[in-house]
Every structure is written in structure tokens, then in C-alpha cells.
Amino acid sequence: MKEYKTTGRIIFNIFNYTFITLVLLLCLFPLIHILALSFSSSAYTDANLVTLWPKGFTLAAYKYVIQNVKFWQSFGVTLKRLAFGVPINLILTILAAYPLSKEESAFRGRKYYMGMFLFVMIFNAGLVPNYLLIKDLKLMDTIWALVLPTGINVFNIVLMMNFFRGIPKEIEESALVDGARQHVILFRLFIPLAKPSIATITLFSFMSHWNAWMDGRIYMNNMENYPLQTYLQNVLESSDQVMLNTVNLQSLIDQMAVSGQNLRAAQLFVSIIPLLMIYPFLQKYFTTGLVMGSVKG
């Protein structure tokens, strides 16, 4: 496309770049503000003097986070949840997606199975029946309540299915001629070929487990079993006094170094860090995943 440097174009460009820059600032300011708060001492945060740069720089809030047993306990629950949840997601997704990626002629009954999976995507029993089920299965306060009901994500299955369909049929046909069984074809050929989409689904799964909070809130009675996000929600809901009472660092309170504001900010920020670390991958694979998922199935 040719660029015509007319006056109108120049004016538009100035407007456009200014506008987009403003939008960028709008996206960044809240995060920077929280970061600044977390490094500021309570004298400044409580007087609302902190904007985008820390005032009265202190690491006191982070010292609190590091020594806060409850924070790390919930962090541990989340790690456990990821360690079980992500592999469960992956295995179930692949096991469902591979047969479903075949034609009806190769896998009789495919359309009925597909229907059963798709129906789950658009119809939800609701909160209470799910809660009663977990209660009746005696899964309350166990890690299984967090990783089993979330084991299947139909969107991921459709994504994976579309990817399997993109693999040339000749590969499967030649393996069949050589006498390979379907499970061998899946594990020896399709899974190695599907690495990029498995990476995508791993990230999807990681994200949803990392950000989940509701199941922790309703299925966990004991606060020790809260995953990180549920714990954070609890922190955000509780009053400053309640939170300060849980601080073991009396000396920090005496020095007026920590208060509700910078403690909350520091905990929020620490829980964002793992996401920021994998963010380049997230961005890359989420975009390709979105495009892949929209390929007609």
C-alpha cells in the first residue's frame, strides 16, 4: 500500500498515535500504581500521596509477604493444583480429541459422543447441584475438588480436534498399512506432531487453574486449603485491622512501615509475577490458539 503524505494524513497520524499512547497509559497506570504502592511506606500510602513512583521506598510489605505463612500455604495449594490439574486436562483433552477428530466412517458413533461433549459446553447445571455433588462425593476440602470437575474443557477439545484434523491423512494411512494400532498412531505420531497445540492447551489450562477462585471458595471450608486467588480475595475483603492482626512482624507495624494498602498491593503484585514471566508465551500461543480454534471443525 502506498502512503500519501497529505496534510490530512499527517493530522490523522498525530491524532492516532496520541490516542493509542493514551490508551496504553490507561492500561499501564493502574498496574504501575499498584507496584508503586507496594514499595511505598504506609505513611505515604495512607495519606494518598503515591501515584506512579514509590514514596518513602521500603521493602517492608514484601518482607511481610515473604514471612506470611498463609500466603505461601495458598501458593502451595495453587502449585499442587497446577501439578495435578494441568496433566489431567492434557490427558483428557487428547483422549477425547483424537477419536473425535476422525470421520464418522472411521469411528462409528462419533457424532453422538461429540453431541454429548458439546452439550456440556452450552448447558450448565448451576452452582448448587455442582456443590451438592462435590459434597456427596466427599471431595470437600480435598485437592480433587479443584482438579477433577475442571478436568474437561470442551473448548480445548475442539481446538485439539481441529489441530489433529490438520495433520495430513497420509501419515495415518501409511501407519495403518504398516499394521499400527490407533493408540500407537496417537502416541508415536500424532502427539509428537501436535506439540505446538499441546503447548497452547497447556497454557490455557495453566491460566484457568492459576486464575480460578470460585471453586476454592465454595469447596474449601478450611482456609488452609484455599488456592492463591481465593486467599487473595479473602485478603481484599477483610478489613485492614484483621489483616494487620495476622502480621507476625510487630516491629514493622510499630515503625508504621506497613498498612492495609501496601500489604494488599504487594500480595497482588507477587501473585501477578508468575503470569508476567510466562506472558510472552501466553501472548504468542493465545493468539495462535484463537486463530486455530476458529478454523472450521
Which is nearer to another protein, 129 or 196 (by Cβ)?
129
Cα angle vertex 23, ends 19, 24, to 5°?
115
Q: Does 7 bind another protein (CB under 8 A)?
A: no
Q: List for the chain the helix, strand, coil content (%; round to 5).
A: 75, 0, 25
Pick one of 11, 59, 256, 290: the residue that binds another protein (CB under 8 A).
290
Residues from 74 through 103 that contact another protein (CB under 8 A) = 92-93, 95-96, 98-100, 102
Pick one of 54, 56, 149, 274: the residue that binds another protein (CB under 8 A).
149
Q: Does 67 bind another protein (CB under 8 A)?
A: no
Residues from 119 through 138 that contact another protein (CB under 8 A) = 120, 122-133
Shortest gap between Cβ of 204 and another protein (angstroms)? 11
For cell 514499595, the residue is 39
111 Cβ contact list (under 8 Å, min separation 6): 104
Residue range at the interface with another protein (CB under 8 A); choices 24-32, 70-78, 160-168, 241-249: 24-32
Residues from 210 through 229 that contact another protein (CB under 8 A) = 210-214, 218, 229
Dihedral angle of Cα 223, 228, 233, 239, to the nearest 10 degrees: 70
d(CA 169, CA 22): 50
d(CA 253, CA 240): 12
Class of residue 100 by CB neighbours under 10 A (exposed 0-12, middle 13-18, buried 19+): buried
Q: Does 70 bind another protein (CB under 8 A)?
A: no
Element (H or E) spanning 28, and its range?
Answer: helix 7-38
CB 288 within 8 Å of CB 162: no
Size of site (CB under 8 A) for another protein: 95
Which is nearer to another protein, 10 or 251 (by Cβ)?
10
Q: Does 156 bind another protein (CB under 8 A)?
A: no
Pick one of 14, 16, 66, 277: the residue that binds another protein (CB under 8 A).
16
Pick one of 72, 79, 90, 117: the residue that binds another protein (CB under 8 A).
117
Q: Does 253 bind another protein (CB under 8 A)?
A: no
Q: Does 187 bind another protein (CB under 8 A)?
A: no
Shortest gap between Cβ of 118 and another protein (angstroms)? 5
Which is nearer to another protein, 172 or 257 (by Cβ)?
172
d(CA 73, CA 225): 8
Which is nearer to another protein, 227 or 252 (by Cβ)?
227
Taking the CB of residue 85, how many other CB atoms lie within 10 A of it?
Answer: 23
Shortest gap between Cβ of 262 and another protein (angstroms)? 11
Residues from 38 through 57 that contact another protein (CB under 8 A) = 47-48, 51
Which is nearer to another protein, 108 or 250 (by Cβ)?
108
Class of residue 207 by CB neighbours under 10 A (exposed 0-12, middle 13-18, buried 19+): middle
Taking the CB of residue 1, how many other CB atoms lie within 10 A of it?
Answer: 3
CA atoms within 13 A on the CB side of 122: 5
Q: Does 12 bind another protein (CB under 8 A)?
A: yes
For cell 498496574, the residue is 31
